[in-house]
Amino acid sequence: MIAAVAITGGGIAACSKDDAKDAMSTASSAASSGASAASSGLSSATSAMSSAATAPELRYDVPGGEVILDGDVAKTFTKAGGEQKVGRLTAKPEQQGAGTVFTFENGNIYSSTATGTHLVQGEILRVYNQNGGPTGSLGYPISDEAQTNGGPQTASGGWISKFQHGEISWLNQGDGNFREAVSPK
- The mean of the pLDDT values for the chain is 80
Instruction: Report the C-alpha dihedral over residues 160, 162, 165, 169, rounded to 10 degrees.
Output: 0
CB 96: neighbour CB atoms within 10 A?
A: 16
pLDDT band at 21 (very low <50, low <70, confident <90, very high): low
- What amino acid occupies position 126? R
Residue 159 pairs in a beta bridge with 147, 170
| Cα Rg of the chain (Å, integer) | 29
Question: pLDDT digits over 32-86, tens only?
Answer: 444 444 444 444 433 334 444 455 689 999 999 999 999 999 999 999 999 999 9
Q: Judge whether residue 166 has pLDDT over 70.
A: yes
Taking the C-alpha atoms of residue 99 and residue 134, their distance in angstroms, rounded to an integer, is 8
For the cut 70, the answer to whether the pLDDT of residue 13 exceeds it is no
pTM: 0.69
Average of per-residue pLDDT across 139-157: 90
Structural domain boundaries in the chain: 5-54, 68-184
pLDDT digits (tens, 9 = 90+) for 108-119: 999 999 999 999
3-state secondary structure of 182: strand
pLDDT recorded at residue 66: 95
